Homo-oligomer: A and B are copies of this chain.
């Protein structure tokens, strides 16, 4: 999910504005919403390539041609799932951040928001994470832009933290590590075994912010300048 070339300066612009940048439909009727949900399930289970339109047809209780009546292609379905998911998680985090002050708490807010959404929409989020590079050209670019915008939110929070605490670390590397940590959960999370989103967010927030142990007292040299462990 985190972008490869985060050079964009887009920070928080996401298309819920009255004049959408994208010409693509963003409002869905009941049928479409149902199809998208089923499609997310199937893509989640079988992967985008592994899922056939017939699978989707079967899963949504609709004829093959019915699917095409609502959505013009398989690729568009993936695009819409990814875009909708991304837009929602973006809206959500931006709304939450408005009420939170303090860089650390703001980072924790993003983590919590991410994990809550992830666990509440595991299937869609897996599709987002796992089918990251499937979409090509314009469609792919649009999702990539959303991803970049989301990424830059975290970068901004990290920069704020660095500034306010006079710290020195790579925002890029830290952000990507944090996203990795969080997005990876789709490979292992088991609702019956693992903690809920809030607890998970607590653990991952602690881990990300302070690590699993205190740094050794004897080391006087600033930690962040090490270039390798030996």
- A interface, CB within 8 angstroms of B: 1-5, 47, 49-50, 104-105, 108-109, 111-112, 130, 132, 134, 158, 161, 165, 167, 169-170, 173-174, 176-185, 187-190, 193-195, 198-215, 223-224, 226-230
Q: Which residues of chain B have C-beta atoms less than 8 A from A174's C-beta?
A: 207, 212
Which one of B185, B200, B228 lies within 8 Å of A112 (CB-CB)?
B228
Q: How far is the CA of A193 from the CA of B173 in the complex (A)?
A: 11
The smallest C-beta distance from A7 to any residue of chain B, in angstroms, reads: 10
Q: Which residues of chain B have C-beta atoms less than 8 A from A109's C-beta?
A: 229
Q: How far is the CA of A215 from the CA of B187 in the complex (A)?
A: 30
The smallest C-beta distance from A105 to any residue of chain B, in angstroms, reads: 7
Given A49-B47, A208-B211, residue A187 in contact with residue B111 (CB < 8 A): no
- Judge whether B210 and A167 touch: CB under 8 Å: no
Given A3-B188, A4-B187, A185-B176, residue A224 in contact with residue B211 (CB < 8 A): no
List 12 contacting pairs A-B, 8 Å CB cutoff, sorted by A: A2-B187, A5-B193, A49-B50, A176-B184, A176-B188, A180-B182, A180-B184, A180-B187, A198-B229, A202-B227, A202-B229, A208-B212
Which one of B47, B165, B185, B200 lies within 8 Å of A213 (CB-CB)?
B165
Which one of B111, B169, B223 lies within 8 Å of A229 (CB-CB)?
B111
Q: How far is the CA of A47 from the CA of B200 in the complex (A)?
A: 30
Q: Which residues of chain B have C-beta atoms less than 8 A from A213's C-beta?
A: 104, 161, 165, 167, 209-210
Q: Which residues of chain B have C-beta atoms less than 8 A from A206's C-beta?
A: 211, 223-224, 226
Given A2-B187, A179-B184, A206-B224, residue A161 in contact with residue B212 (CB < 8 A): yes
- Judge whether B210 and A227 touch: CB under 8 Å: no
Q: Which residues of chain B have C-beta atoms less than 8 A from A199's C-beta?
A: 227-228
Q: How far is the CA of A176 from the CA of B182 in the complex (A)?
A: 10
Which one of B112, B179, B195, B228 lies within 8 Å of A198 (CB-CB)?
B228
Q: How far is the CA of A4 from the CA of B185 in the complex (A)?
A: 10
Nearest-CB residue, chain B, relative to A200: B173
- Judge whether B50 and A203 touch: CB under 8 Å: no
Q: Which residues of chain B have C-beta atoms less than 8 A from A185's C-beta?
A: 176, 180
Q: Which residues of chain B have C-beta atoms less than 8 A from A170's C-beta?
A: 203
